[in-house]
Structure formats: C-alpha cells, structure tokens
C-alpha cells in the first residue's frame, strides 16, 4: 500500500485508533465502516492505495507514480489500470500482442473517456483502500459462491468482479496509458485456450450484471450514462453474434471463389462447427484443444480464400458501397492508431496473424468456453492428480501379491532383506557402518529432502510402517532459520508489530480457512453447472442460428426483395450491421484520440526540465548534501567474524591508512556544477575512508559507495 505522492517511499499500515467517532458527513448514502472513522483516519485511508501484481510482472517505479497521479487527481477514482504488454516468443504471443494493443488503444481508451473502464487486470492495477473497504464492495467480494452463476462470475475473473462492484457502488475506474507493465503471456495453444476459458465467461457474466442493473448503476455512478450502457449493449450483442457473422463471411467467400450456391456454401462452412460442438460436449479437454488447434491450421487456408473472395466482391462493387467504405475506414483507423502509438506500431504487423486466426478466435474459442462452462477450475499450473480409488486399488493389489508370494520360497529373500533394513534403520546406521550423530540443520534437511507420497512408496516396493513417536523425541525446528541464510546478507531485521500479526491471523481465520468438501453440496453444484451450461449453449447457438438463417434468406431472395433494398442495391440487414459497427469503431477512435492527448499532457506534467545553469547547480547541491548526510548517519556493520586472521576494525584509524582516491581530479572540470560535484565527492570519500573499514583485498565492506569512480554517486549525478 502506498501513501500520497508526497511520500512515495512511505508504506502506510492501517492500525486501530482509539476514540473513533462517527463521521457527520457521509460520502455515500449506504451504511459503511467508513462512516464511523474520524476525519483524520478517513483522509489517510482515502490516500492509501493497494497495488495488485502478478509474480511475473515487470514494471518501473515511474509507472506506479503515474497511477497514483490518477488517484490524487480525483477522489472518486476507485481503481486505475496501466498498459499491459504481453512478452514471450512464438505465434501465440504475437497474436496476443496485437489483441492487447487494439484492446488498450481503442476499447479501454474509449471506456476511460466516455465512461469508466470495466476491468482493471490484477496483474498491474492500483486500488483505493477506502473504495475497497466500502461495505457493499468488500462484503460482496468476500461472499462465498453458491449458485452456478456465482462460480462463473466470482471465481473465474476475480479482478473483473471487483471492478463491477466498484462501478455499481459509484466509483470511477481509469486507464493510464503511460504506466507500462510487462507480463508473460501464454506461449502454447493449450495454455491460451485454458486462460480464455476462464476470462470469457467471467467477462460476459459481469457485463450482463451491469446491463441488468443499469438503472441503479447510472443513478449511483456519475461517470456512467445511459449512452455508455447502450454502447456496452451493442458491443455485447456484436460479440454474441460474432460466430454466425464469421460463418456467413466464410460462406460468402466459398460462393464467390468456388462458384457454389449460398446454401451449399453455408452448409460447407457450418459442418466443421457442428462437429467441434459435439467434440466439446463429449470429449475430454485435451482432445478438444487438439481438435481446435487442427481446425485453426485448416482455417488459416480458408482465410486466404476469404481474402480472395472479399477482393472479388469489392471489385464488383462501387467505391461508395458499404463494404468498400467500411474496409477503407478500418485500414485508416488502424494506421492512425499505430502512428499515435509509435513505440507499439510493430504490433500492427501481428495483425496479419490475427486476421488469419479470426475463425479460431470467434468460432472455435467461443464454442470451447461455452461448452466448458461447467468446468470452473483454473486449469493452469495444476499438477495431474491421481485418483484416490486408483491408489487404494493399487495398494490392495500389491498387498494381495505379497500375501500369496509368501508361499514362494524364492520371494523370502526380499522380505528378509527388508526386515534387516528396518532393523538397521531403527539403530540409525547402515550395514557395515557405525552409528554417528550429526547436528540437525533445518535448512539443509528441508532443501535436500525430496517429497514422497505413500503411493510412490507403494509403487517403489517399500513397506511403510507407522510407529508412534513419543512427544519428547520430536525435534523443535526454528521457524525463523531462513533469516540465517547466507544469500540474504547482513540486512537489518525488523519485526512486524502485534497489530499487524493480529490482523493477518484474523484474515486467515475469517476468509482464508480451508473449505470443507461436502459431497452432497459438490454434487448439487455440479448439476447446477451442467444445467447452466446446457441452457447457455442452447440459447447462444439458437441466436446465432436465427441470425445466420435470416441473412441467408435475404441473400437467396435477393431478386424478389430488390425493391426493398437500400438504393435498390444493398441488403438492409448487412448495411445496418456494418453501419452500427462502423459507428462503434468511430466512437472508439475519437475516444482514443482524446485519451492520447490527455496522456501527452499527463506525461509532460511529470517531466522535469532543467531550465538554466543555476537550477542545475541547485539540484546537484541538494543531491550531494543528502548523500553527505546519509554518509554521516550510516552505521557500518563488519561482514567478517571475530576469529578471522585480519584484524578487526576498532576505533578511528589515521587517514593515511586509507589513502584518498585522487583520480577524480585527473580531468579538469568543465563547468561550475561539475567542480561542485567533484569537490563534494572528494569530501564524502574522505569521510568514508575514515569511517569504513576495508578487507584484505582493499574493498569496502557493506557500503553503498564503491571505491571506483563509476558507482552509486556517479549514477545519481547522471540521473540528475
């Protein structure tokens, strides 16, 4: 948690303050714990922020400062997210780089300008503590899922669920394009599909929740309007109808290139999708993903046919036809987006790969996550589990074999050897060796020990014998032995205060306790998830079928309905669909331009420009003065033991024992502030030479100021 920008390095920890009184002015009409805080505590919590990160995220401190700037600009901002850059290698990462780029350039920028961002990814986002502490946020967020929809909405995308609660409570969520963060993206087709199997259902469930409660959300949230809700409704509708739209596009290309009728082309494009639906409903996950990968490879060739068919249709149409205008506008918008993001313009090259995998993204991935709605496991970083029934069966078989093998004389030798080994283990020695004792080292024992399970022992042919060990024989292990590890160095040890220990123990007892598995409840949830999956799959595919049949009917009855066509040329439904999609794209493009201007102003306001020589000298003096103060206050601890050969530093040694490095004066300074710097550096180094001991090789011990001229001090000077 971070304090305000005045103290960037300060870590704010909330503690109980006696004498709390109820606040007279309420920031929210709902009952909240914030209403019972004093004014001072409320202001402190309002300027306390929580940074959420993934373990593989890389970012710079300046990115966090930009997020904090957004928080301090508006007290109603409950969360801010940055620009996420996927890193890795391979085609799947290239695909995601273009996908992330377009999503941030257009969608998040438009949401920030015209309303609120709907999701702050948990890999790199900043949340306001007072917003999370709101009763209607934290209490709902910690609620245990009960129904099937709860498992999909709460568990599959916890970051989006938290943002939905913040929006419904009236908080604003911003997007800061200057705060860059880099995270590793899935590099394999399998990991990518597993990840999107969680993300996509959670996204749909949370947006549906916002749309269903739009009246309450608009009344509570000043940054969300009815037009913004309409915009989200159009996006949701287009995403639902996307599979049928892509199938119709492929069917039209088949008809233009292969000279087939529209219905034959439609059937040819629909059959692979039906086969994949059956596979996803009946086969296991690995088979589903393997089939999807195969179909993705096949449909890259199909997309080449689609490209040729689209070009053929464009050549047959006028320059002012809806298809030509839409494709030209799409190319212009993406080109301008790349020019406005010069450091990310390379992502446009990956758009070719994105185009070739459109059928996989909008058809097969959609079918996959819909048919697996009943699977609410995360699926990533999980080890394969061995069934308990199989383990018990294996143990019984081995036991049965052992009993019958007693009648075989040749099998007595292993039993005798095992018994002898057991006796030697009790005595604590091996055959031919004497018993010796050794000190118990928790670090080495734990690090060198290989984890084994009872199943592994049974499979290895080892007989597991359990004996009761007296309590007085149990070894006492120091839980803080890790503090003595060498690679941690000789850093200062600080103990956590009692209030924080009590807080985390309470959190463990209240929210992080192990869940008890109830077989009946587990079976009920499974039935509920299966029913939800079946209903959603039926409704989703029925809507797509109705949409595709309606468009196909208009295509086949083109000559009969020609008087009702727009300008007696263009089919109405297709024109309306292209018009709506074009308006949405234009809406996002305008929002992107406005957001880029705001980002430019934000970055310029945080950029320090040295205007003249006097200001440079003043800044250099301040930096060197602070360094000199730090050198006087530093308490150097020796990194050697008292029994080493070299003498221990005691007291202050004469200056001649530690000669001053005069090499910094070999080159004459060229400016005033360089002379000031070299003079102060000489003074600091003399002070260090007096107070800091050296080892036998002439190196300083445990200091942040090295003995050469290219260390920490020069880095600070160059940064200034």
What's the pLDDT tens digit per position in 147-161?
889 999 988 888 999
- Quick one: average pLDDT of 53-82? 92
Contact 107, 239 (CB under 8 A): no
What is the pLDDT, as a whole number, of residue 344? 92
Report how far apart, in Å, the C-alpha atoms of 708 and of each of 287, 699, 700, 713 are: 61, 10, 10, 10
What local confidence, expressed as pLDDT, does residue 577 receive?
A: 83
Tell whether the model's pLDDT for residue 81 goes beyond 90.
yes
Contact 78, 21 (CB under 8 A): no
- DSSP three-state, residue 125: strand
Q: Give me the half-sphere count of Cα atoms (radius 13 Å) on the Cβ side of residue 232.
A: 24
- pLDDT at residue 681, rounded to an integer: 67
Residue 415 has pLDDT above 90, yes or no: no
- Supply the mean pLDDT for the chain: 76
Indicate the range of 136-150, 184-198, 434-448, 511-525 predicted with least confidence.
Answer: 434-448
Asked if pLDDT for residue 610 goes beyond 50, the answer is: yes
pLDDT (0 to 100) of residue 692:
52
220 contact partners, CB below 8 Å, separation of at least 6? 168, 169, 170
Residue with tokens 């373990």: 55
48: helix, coil or strand?
A: coil
- Least confident range of 11-15, 53-57, 336-340, 676-680: 11-15
**Number of C-beta neighbours around residue 674 at 10 A:** 15
Interval 97-112 mean pLDDT: 95
The position carrying tokens 């053929």 is: 312
- The CA-atom distances, in angstroms, between 305 and each of 256, 296, 300, 454, 653 are 9, 14, 9, 57, 84
Q: How confident is the model at residue 713 (pLDDT cuts 50, 70, 90)?
A: very low
Q: Is the pLDDT of residue 35 over 70?
A: no
CB neighbourhood size of 647 (10 A): 7
Which domains are seen in the chain, by residue range?
Answer: 5-237 (3.90.550), 242-380+546-604 (no CATH), 613-639+649-719 (no CATH)
pLDDT in tens, 512-567: 777 777 788 888 999 999 999 999 999 999 999 999 998 888 888 877 777 777 77
How far is 365 from 380, CA to CA, in rounded Å?
Answer: 17
Q: For residue range 310-322, list pLDDT tens digits in order.
A: 787 777 777 777 7
Q: What angle do CA 468, 436, 413 make, to 5 degrees?
A: 65
pTM for the whole structure: 0.69
pLDDT at 99: 94
Q: 392 or 202, which is more confident?
A: 202
pLDDT tens string 458-479: 444 445 555 555 555 556 667 7
Tell me which residue of 197, 140, 149, 199 sits closest to 525, measured CA to CA. 149
Lowest mean pLDDT among 124-138, 553-567, 705-719: 705-719
| 220/384: higher pLDDT | 220
For residue 73, pLDDT over 60 is answered with yes
- The conformation of residue 326, written as its DSSP 8-state character, comes to H
- 3 state SS for 111-163: HHHHCCCCCCCCCEEEEEHHHHCCHHHHHHHCCCCCCHHHHHHHHCCHHHHHH
d(CA 168, CA 223) in angstroms, rounded, equals 11
Which pair of tokens denotes residue 422? 């057991």
Q: Is the pLDDT assigned to residue 136 strictly greater than 50? A: yes
For the ranges 123-137, 331-345, 465-479, which has the lowest average pLDDT?
465-479
- pLDDT band of residue 611 (cuts 50, 70, 90) is low
Contact 54, 125 (CB under 8 A): no
Burial 522-553 (b: 16+ CB within 10 A, else e): eeebeebbeebbeebbeebbeebeebbeebbe
Read off the pLDDT of residues 679-702 as tens digits, 9 standing for 90 and up. Answer: 766 776 666 565 555 544 444 444
Token couple for 188: 């394999």
Residue, of 528 and 672, whose pLDDT is higher: 528
pLDDT at 709: 41
Mean pLDDT of 347-362: 92
**Rounded mean pLDDT, 595-617:** 80
With CA atoms as reference, report the closest residue to 371 among 317, 450, 292.
Answer: 292
Strands annotated E in 431-522: none
- Vertex 577: Cα angle to 568 and 207 (nearest 5): 165
Q: Which residue has the higher pLDDT, 328 or 118?
A: 118
Report how far apart, in Å, the C-alpha atoms of 148 and of each of 151, 486, 521 are: 5, 50, 12
**Residue 85 main-chain phi, psi, to 5 deg:** -110, 115
Structure tokens at 285: 């996950």
Q: Is the pLDDT of residue 384 over 60?
A: no
Is pLDDT at 612 greater than 80 in this prediction? no
d(CA 67, CA 174): 9
Residue 218, helix vs strand vs coil: helix
Q: What is the pLDDT of residues 426-436, one digit of tens each?
A: 544 455 544 44
**What is the Cβ-side half-sphere exposure of residue 521, based on CA atoms within 13 angstroms?**
7
Mean local confidence (pLDDT), 215-234: 94
Of the segments 366-370, 437-441, 663-667, which one has the largest average pLDDT value? 366-370
CA distance linking residue 191 with residue 615, whole number of Å: 54
- The pair phi, psi for residue 669, each rounded to 5°, is -60, 150
């Amino acid at each position: 948690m971070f304090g305000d920008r005045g103290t960037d390095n300060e870590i704010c920890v909330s503690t109980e303050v006696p004498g709390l009184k109820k606040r007279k002015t309420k920031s929210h009409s709902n009952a909240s714990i914030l209403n019972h805080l004093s004014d001072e505590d409320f202001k402190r919590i309002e300027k306390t922020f929580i940074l959420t990160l993934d373990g593989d995220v890389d970012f710079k401190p300046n990115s966090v400062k930009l997020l904090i700037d957004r928080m301090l600009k508006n007290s109603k901002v409950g969360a801010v997210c940055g620009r996420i850059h996927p890193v890795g290698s391979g085609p799947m990462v290239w695909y995601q780089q273009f996908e992330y780029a377009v999503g941030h350039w257009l969608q998040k920028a438009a949401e920030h300008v015209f309303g609120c961002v709907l999701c702050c990814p948990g890999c790199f986002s900043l949340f306001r503590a007072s917003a999370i502490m709101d009763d209607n946020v934290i209490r709902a967020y910690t609620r245990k899922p009960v129904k099937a929809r709860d498992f999909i909405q709460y568990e599959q995308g916890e970051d989006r669920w938290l943002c939905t609660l913040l929006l419904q409570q009236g908080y604003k969520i911003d997007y800061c394009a200057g705060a860059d963060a880099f995270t590793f993206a899935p590099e394999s087709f399998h990991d990518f599909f597993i990840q999107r199997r969680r993300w996509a259902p959670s996204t749909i469930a949370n947006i549906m929740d916002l749309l269903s409660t739009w009246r309450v959300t608009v009344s509570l949230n000043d940054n969300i309007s009815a037009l913004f809700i309409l915009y989200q409704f159009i996006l949701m509708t287009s995403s639902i109808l996307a599979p049928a739209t892509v199938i119709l596009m492929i069917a039209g290309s088949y008809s233009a290139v292969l000279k087939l009728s529209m219905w034959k082309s439609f059937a040819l494009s629909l059959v692979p999708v039906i086969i994949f639906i059956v596979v996803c409903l009946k086969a296991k996950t690995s088979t589903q993903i393997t089939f999807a990968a195969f179909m993705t490879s096949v449909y890259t060739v199909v997309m080449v046919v689609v490209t040729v068919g689209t070009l053929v249709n464009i050549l047959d149409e006028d320059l002012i036809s809806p298809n030509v205008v839409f494709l030209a506008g799409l190319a212009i918008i993406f080109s301008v987006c790349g020019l406005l993001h010069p450091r990310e313009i390379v992502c446009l090259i990956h758009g070719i790969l994105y185009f070739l995998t459109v059928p996989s993204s909008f058809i097969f991935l959609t079918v996959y996550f819909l048919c697996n709605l009943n699977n609410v496991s995360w699926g990533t970083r999980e080890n394969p589990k061995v069934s308990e029934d199989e383990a018990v069966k294996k143990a019984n078989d081995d036991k049965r074999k052992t009993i019958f093998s007693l009648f075989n004389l040749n099998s007595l030798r292993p039993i005798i050897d095992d018994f002898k080994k057991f006796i030697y283990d009790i005595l604590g020695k091996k055959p031919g060796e004497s018993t010796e004792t050794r000190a118990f080292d928790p670090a080495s024992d734990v690090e060198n020990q290989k984890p084994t399970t009872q199943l592994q022992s049974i499979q290895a042919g080892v007989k597991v014998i359990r004996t009761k060990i007296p309590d007085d024989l149990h070894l006492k292990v120091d839980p803080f032995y890790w503090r003595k590890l060498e690679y941690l160095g000789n850093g200062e040890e600080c103990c956590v205060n009692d209030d924080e220990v009590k807080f985390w123990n309470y959190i463990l007892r209240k929210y992080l306790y192990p869940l008890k598995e109830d077989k009946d409840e587990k079976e009920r949830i499974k039935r509920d998830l299966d029913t939800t999956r079946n209903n959603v799959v039926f409704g989703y595919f029925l809507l797509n079928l109705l949409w595709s049949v309606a468009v196909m009917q208009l295509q086949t009855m083109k000559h009969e309905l020609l008087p009702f066509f727009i300008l007696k040329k263009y089919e109405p439904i297709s024109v309306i669909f292209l018009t709506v999609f074009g308006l949405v794209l234009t809406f996002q493009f305008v929002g992107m331009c406005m957001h880029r201007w705001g980002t430019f102003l934000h970055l310029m306001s945080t950029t320090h420009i040295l205007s003249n020589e006097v200001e440079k000298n003043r800044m250099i003096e301040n930096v060197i003065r602070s360094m000199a103060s730090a050198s006087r206050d530093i308490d150097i601890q020796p990194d050697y033991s008292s029994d080493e050969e070299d003498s221990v530093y005691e007291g202050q040694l004469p200056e001649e024992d530690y000669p001053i490095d005069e090499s910094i004066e070999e080159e004459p300074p060229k400016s005033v502030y360089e002379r000031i710097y070299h003079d102060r550096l000489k003074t600091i180094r003399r002070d260090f030479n007096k107070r800091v001991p050296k080892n036998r090789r002439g190196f300083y011990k445990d200091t942040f100021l090295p003995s050469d001229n290219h260390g920490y001090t020069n880095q600070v000077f160059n940064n200034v």
